[in-house]
Structure 1
Amino acid sequence: MKTVLLSPRTGAITVGEIPAPEAAAGLVVIRNDWSLISAGTERATVSTGAQSLLGKARHRPDQVAQVLESVRRTGLAETYRTVQDRLDRPVQLGYSCAGTVLRTGEGVDDICPGMRVAAAGARYASHAEIVAVPRNLVVPVPDGVDTQWAAFATVGAIALQGIHQAEVVPGSRIAVIGLGLVGQITLQLLRAYGYDGVGIDPDSAMVALAESAGLVAFPRGADGLPGAVSRQWAGADADAVLITAATSSSDPVEFAGLLARDRATVVVVGDVDVAPPRSSYYHKELTIRYARSYGPGRYDARFEEDGHPYPEGYVPWTERRNLAEVLRLLATGAVDFARLKPRVFAVEDAAGAYEALKPSTAGRSVALLLRYSATAQLPSRPAPEAGSRAWTAPRGTLRLAAIGAGNFATRTLFPELEREPGVAFSWVAGGRGLSAAHQGRRWGFRTVAESVDTGLASGDADCVMVLSRHDSHGRYAARVLRGGAALYCEKPLGLTETELEDIADAWLISGAPAMAGFNRRFAPSVRDLRAVLPAGAPLQVVHRVFAGRLPADHWYFDPGQGGRLLGEVCHFIDTAGFLVPGRPVGVRAVGVDARDPAAAQSLTLQITYDDGSAASIVYGGLTPPGAPKELLEVATDRVAARIDDFRSLTVWKGGREVTTKYRGGPKGHAAEMHSLVRLVRGEPLGEETAAAADFASALWSSLVACRAARSLTEDGVVGTAPRTPALARALGCAAPGPGAAGAVPKPGGQAAYPAGGSSSTTAAR
Structure 2
Amino acid sequence: MRQLIQNYKSGELQLVEVPDPILRPGGVVLETKNSLVSVGTEKLMISLAQKGYIGKAMARPDLVKQVINKIKVDGLVDTYKAVMSRLDTPVTLGYSSAGVIREMSDLQGPISYVIGDRIACFGDGFATHSELSFVPKNMFVKIPDNVFFEEAAFVGLGSIALNAIRVTNLTFGEKVVVVGLGLLGQLTVQMLKAFGCQVLGVDISEAKLKMAREFGANLCLLSDVRGPMSDVVNAIKDFTGGIGADAVIIMAGSQDNKPIEMAAEISRDQGRITACGMVSLDVPRQEFFKKELKVVVSRATGPGKFDPLYENRGIDYPLPYVRWTTQRNMECFLSLVAEQRVKLEKLVSHRFKLDEALAGYEMLLSGKEPYLGVLLEYGQKSEPKRKVALSSNVQSSPTKVEGTIALGLIGAGLHANTSLLPTLKSFKDVKLVGLADAEGFKGRHTAQKYGFAYCTTDYHELLKDNNINLVLIATRHNLHAQMVQDSFAAGKHVFVEKPLAMKLEELKQIKEVYIKSGRQLMVGFNRRFAPHTLMAKELLGKTDNLVINCRVNAGFVPGDSWIHDASEGGGRVIGEVCHFVDLLQTLTNSSPVEVFAKATDKNGGDNLVITLKFANGSIGTITYASQGDRILPRERIEVFAGSSVCVIDNFKNLFYAKDGKIVKKKAFSLDRGYAGEFKALFSSLRDGGVAIPFDSQLLTTLTTFAIIKSIKSGHSQEITLDDLVHSTQEKICIY
| 1:739-758 equivalent positions in 2, closer than 5 A | 741=731
Q: Which stretches of structure 1, 4 residues or more, deviate above 6 A after TM superposition?
A: 737-740
Q: TM-score, normalised by structure 1?
A: 0.88
- Aligned partners of 2:573 and 2:729: how far apart in 1? 25
Q: Which residue of 2 aligns with 1:551?
A: 558
Residue in structure 1 matched with residue 596 of structure 2 by the alignment: 588
Q: 533-542 or 17-26, which moves further after superposition?
A: 533-542
Q: What does residue 567 of structure 1 align with?
A: 575
Secondary structure class of the residue paired with 2:464 = helix
Give 1:679 shift: 1.9
* Cα distance, 1:562–1:106 mapped onto 2, change above 3 Å: farther
Q: Is the 8 A contact 1:399 1:460 kept in 2?
A: yes
Matches within 5 A, 1:265-344: 265-278=272-285, 280-344=287-351
Aligned to 2:352: 345
Q: How many angstroms does 1:636 deviate by?
A: 4.3
After superposition, the C-alpha distances for 1:580-634 in whole angstroms (9 at most, x for unaligned) are: 3443333222212x2334xx12111122334433322111221111213222233
Q: Which residue of 2 aligns with 1:759?
A: none
- Cα distance in 1, alignment partners of residues 204 and 181 from structure 2: 9
Match of 2:617 among 593, 612, 623: 612
Partners of 2:11 and 2:537 lie apart in 1 by 52
> How big is the shift at 1:360?
4.0
Aligned-partner Cα distance in 2 for 1:375–1:94: 19
Could you list the runs of 5+ residues in structure 1 that have no partner in the other structure? 382-390, 729-735, 743-765
| Residue of structure 2 in register with 1:524 after alignment | 531
1:666 aligned partner: 671
Secondary structure (helix, strand or coil) at the match of 2:606 reads: coil
Matches within 5 A, 1:40-439: 40-105=40-105, 112-221=114-223, 223-233=230-240, 236-278=243-285, 280-358=287-365, 360=367, 362=369, 364-379=370-385, 392-439=399-446
| SS of equivalent to 1:677 | helix
Q: Would the alpha carbon gap of residues 274 and 665 (structure 1) be closer, same or farther in structure 2, given more than 3 Å must change? A: closer
Counterpart contact for 1:493–1:702, Cα < 8 Å: yes
Residue 198 of structure 2 contacts residue 217 of structure 2 at CA under 8 Å; is this kept in 1? no
The CA distance in 1 between the partners of 2:107 and 2:499, in whole Å, is: 25
Give the 3-state SS of the residue equivalent to 1:395 in structure 2. coil
Amino acid at match of 1:3: Q
Taking the aligned partners of 2:138 and 2:591, their CA distance within structure 1 comes to 46
User: 2:630 maps to what in 1?
Assistant: 625
- Give the conservation status (yes or no) of the 8 Å contact 2:5–2:441: no
Identity %: 31
Structure 2 counterpart of 1:672, one-letter code: E
Q: How do residues 666-745 of structure 1 correspond to structure 2 at under 5 angstroms? A: 666-681=671-686, 683-684=687-688, 690=690, 692-722=691-721, 727-728=724-725, 736=726, 741=731
Give the match for residue 15 of structure 1.
Answer: 15
Q: 1:221 to 1:408 in 2, by over 3 A?
A: closer
Determine helix, strand or coil for the equivalent of 2:699. helix
SS in 1 for 2:19: coil
Per-residue deviation at 1:140?
2.2
1:231: Cα distance to partner? 4.3
Asked if 2 retains the 8 angstrom alpha-carbon contact of 1:27 and 1:108, the reply is no
Shift of 1:737: 7.7
Change in Cα spacing, 1:719 to 1:311, as seen in structure 2 (3 Å) is farther
Tell me how large the CA RMSD over aligned residues is.
2.6
Moved more, 639-648 or 393-402: 639-648
Query: Which deviates the most, 493-502 or 521-530?
Result: 521-530
- Map 1:531-542 onto structure 2 (within 5 A): 531-533=538-540, 535=542, 537-542=544-549
Decide whether the 8 Å contact of 2:439 with 2:457 is kept in 1.
no
Q: 1:415 to 1:737 in 2, by over 3 A?
A: closer
**How far did residue 719 of structure 1 move?**
2.7
Deviations along 1:440-474, whole A, 9 cap, x unmatched? 01100011124212222223311010011112111
Q: What is residue 732 of structure 1 aligned with on the other side?
A: none
**Which residue identity is paired with 2:32?**
N
Displacement, 1:570?
0.6
| Match of residue 472 from structure 1 | 479
**Deviation readout 1:471-514 (Å, 9 max, x if unpaired):** 21111111111110100001111111122122222211111011
How many Å separate the matches in 1 of 2:242 and 2:29? 53
Give the superposition deviation at 1:394.
2.3
Q: Which amino acid aligns with 1:368?
A: V
- What secondary structure does 1:448 align onto? strand
1:695-727 deviation per Cα after TM superposition (whole angstroms, max 9, x unaligned): 321121012112222322333323323466xx4
Q: How big is the shift at 1:283?
A: 2.1
Aligned partners of 2:9, 2:633: CA distance in 1, in Å?
Answer: 34
Amino acid at match of 1:291: S
Q: Distance in 1 between matches of 2:728 and 2:563?
A: 34
For residue 254 of structure 1, report the CA deviation from its aligned partner: 1.8
Contact in 1 for aligned 2:530/2:673 (Cα 8 Å)? yes
Q: Deviations over 1:523-580 (max 9, x none)?
A: 2332333345564734333222122223344432233211211111010111112233
Aligned to 2:271, the other structure's residue is in SS state strand
Equivalent residue of 2:11, what SS? Answer: coil
The aligned counterpart of 2:391 is: none
SS at match of 1:561: coil
The answer as to whether partners of 1:130 and 1:376 remain within 8 angstroms in 2 is no
Ranges in structure 2 where 5+ consecutive residues have no aligned partner: 225-229, 388-397
The residue number in structure 2 matching 1:445 is: 452
Residues 528 and 75 from structure 1, CA distance in 2 versus in 1: closer, same or farther, beyond 3 angstroms? Answer: closer
**How far apart, in 1, do the equivalents of 2:536 and 2:51 lie?**
51
Q: CA separation in 2, counterparts of 1:708 and 1:651?
A: 30
TM-fit CA distance, 1:367: 0.7
Structure 1 position 461 matched with structure 2 position 468: yes
Shift of residue 656, structure 1, vs aligned partner: 4.4
Deviation at 1:236, TM superposition (A): 4.9
Structure 1 window deviating more from structure 2 (328-337 vs 278-287): it is 278-287
Secondary structure of 2:360's partner?
helix
Secondary structure of 1:369's match? Answer: strand
Deviates more, 1:434-443 or 1:627-636: 627-636
Once residues 411 and 737 of structure 1 are traced to their aligned partners in structure 2, the CA distance between those partners, rounded to angstroms, is 38
* 1:337-358 deviations in Å (ceiling 9; x for gaps): 2231342111111112212324
| 2:98 alignment partner AA | A
Partner-residue secondary structure (3-state), 1:504: helix
Equivalent residue letter for 1:35: S
1:568 and 1:425 map into 2 onto residues whose CA distance is 27
Contact 1:356 1:365 in 2 (8 A): no
Q: Partners of 1:522 and 1:7 in 2: how far apart?
A: 34
Give 1:645's aligned amino acid: N
CA contact (8 A) 2:107 2:137 kept: no
CA distance in structure 2 between the partners assigned to 1:27 and 1:10 by the alignment: 33
1:309 is paired with a residue of what secondary structure? coil
Q: Which residue in 2 is equivalent to 1:754?
A: none
One-letter amino acid matched to 1:162? A
Are the counterparts in 2 of residues 3 and 129 from structure 1 also a CA contact under 8 Å?
yes
Query: For the residues of structure 2 that align with 1:739 and 1:192, how far apart are their CA atoms?
Result: 58
Q: Is the 8 A contact 2:500 2:701 kept in 1?
A: yes
Q: 1:643 aligns with which of 640, 648, 661?
A: 648
CA distance in 1, matches of 2:731, 2:56: 56
The code of the aligned residue for 2:591 comes to R
- Equivalent pair of 1:413/1:673 in contact (CA under 8 Å): no
Q: How does 1:473-512 map to 2 (within 5 A)?
A: 473-512=480-519
Write the distance in 2 (CA, Å) between the matches of 1:107 and 1:262: 49
Mean Cα deviation higher: 550-559 or 517-526: 550-559
Q: C-alpha displacement at 1:411, in angstroms?
A: 2.9
The letter for the 1-side match of 2:511 is A
Structure 2 counterpart of 1:369, one-letter code: L
Conservation of the 8 A alpha-carbon contact between 1:28 and 1:108: no
Aligned residues: 713
